Homo-oligomer: A and B are copies of this chain.
Amino acid sequence: MDNLTENLNVRPGDIVLLVGKDRKEFIISVEPGREHQTHHGVLPHDAIIGKRWGATVATHLGYTYLILPPSLEQLVRSIRRATQIVYPKEIGYLLMKMNIGPGTRVIEAGTGSGGLTLALARMVMPHGHVYSYEVRPETQALAQKNLAALGLLPYVTLKLRDIAEGFDERGVDAVFLDVREPWDYLPHVHTALKGGGFFGSLLPTTNQVAALLRHLQQPAFGYIEVEELILRPYKAVPGRLRPFDRIIAHTGYLVFARALPGEFNPDLDTRPERFGDPDLTDAAEFIDDSE
């Protein structure tokens, strides 16, 4: 309860989303003594500290900003990025598809700017862990900074490594590859995953999807799925409700598969029989055999 009372107001160190009347948004870490420069005047952090969440604050020129706690979606979209990020719509879906939640041990590569990393870390805490591989030092440094700003570093191990050398972990629950040619690393993925473990990848082109599918035709993998998520935002005007004119219509194709106990055979590229190609009408039924 004490905790609830405190949470009513912005405290030093809090991560704050500021939303202007011009719909311009900023996310800042609030620290006593600092100032935030906007196009509409200066906003001293001290004017934000102690305000109620959801209240407004004015710049020295009288321009007001709404003070909100950022959502995970907003954090992911706001991070400083050197690379293309995985979008929140795909992140939310892969959490569900790859069974990632509190307690999960998950490998990710590459780290990139850390957008997916921070979402994974937020979701597996407090007892799970993210092992995130990246080959470019400056990219990893950016991700580290992003994760540190949000206090999520304790849940992440950042590794500076070409994943062609393999992963250190064994028996992990899930592996997600956001790399150009994920098929090159399937034997390493298989070695790291536990039986029935979840593999996922995000690929922008149909050619990459076809190549990955070809390499997944292995006794070592099964239950292969390809899906695409399209997010359609609407103008939130009650009397003129309509979709946005222009949208981001393509981010990538999601490919999912499961690790099976079979050996990975690098020479194989056809598989006569496949388990579990998903069919829309065949959601599993939960059956109680005690009845």
Interface residue ranges, A against B (CB under 8 Å) = 4, 7-8, 17-19, 21, 23-29, 31, 34-36, 45, 52-56, 66-80, 88-89, 91-99, 101-102, 119, 122-127, 146, 149, 170-171, 194-198, 204-207, 209-211, 213-214, 217, 222-251, 253, 255, 258-261, 273, 275-280, 282-290
Contacts and interface: CB of A to CB of B under 8 A. Distances in A.
Contacts of A243: 228, 249-250
B239 A210 contact: yes
A207 B245 CA distance: 16
A238 B258 contact: no
Contact of A92 (B45, B70, B94, B171): B94
Contacts of A96: 71-73, 76, 88-89, 91-92, 119
Given A223-B19, A280-B248, A290-B31, A214 B229 contact: no
B238 A210 contact: yes
Given A8-B195, A99-B72, A261-B54, A279 B234 contact: no
A80 B230 CA distance: 28
Contacts of A228: 231-234, 243
A188 to B, nearest CB: 17
A150 B136 CA distance: 42
Query: Chain A interface secondary structure, helix, strand, loop or mixed?
Result: mixed
Given A68-B196, A205-B241, A210-B239, 15 more contacts: A17-B284, A18-B284, A19-B223, A23-B279, A53-B196, A56-B275, A73-B99, A74-B283, A79-B286, A89-B229, A95-B123, A101-B122, A102-B125, A149-B288, A246-B246
Contact of A245 (B93, B99, B210, B250): B250
A198 B119 CA distance: 18
B71 A98 contact: yes
Given A26-B285, A210-B206, A126 B102 contact: yes
Contacts of A225: 233, 236
A36 B277 contact: no
21 contacts: A25-B276, A27-B284, A53-B195, A54-B196, A68-B258, A71-B98, A73-B99, A77-B283, A88-B96, A92-B97, A93-B93, A101-B123, A102-B102, A102-B124, A205-B240, A206-B241, A213-B237, A227-B234, A228-B234, A229-B230, A246-B246
A70 to B, nearest CB: 7
A217 B238 contact: yes
Contacts of A230: 229-232
A96 B76 CA distance: 9
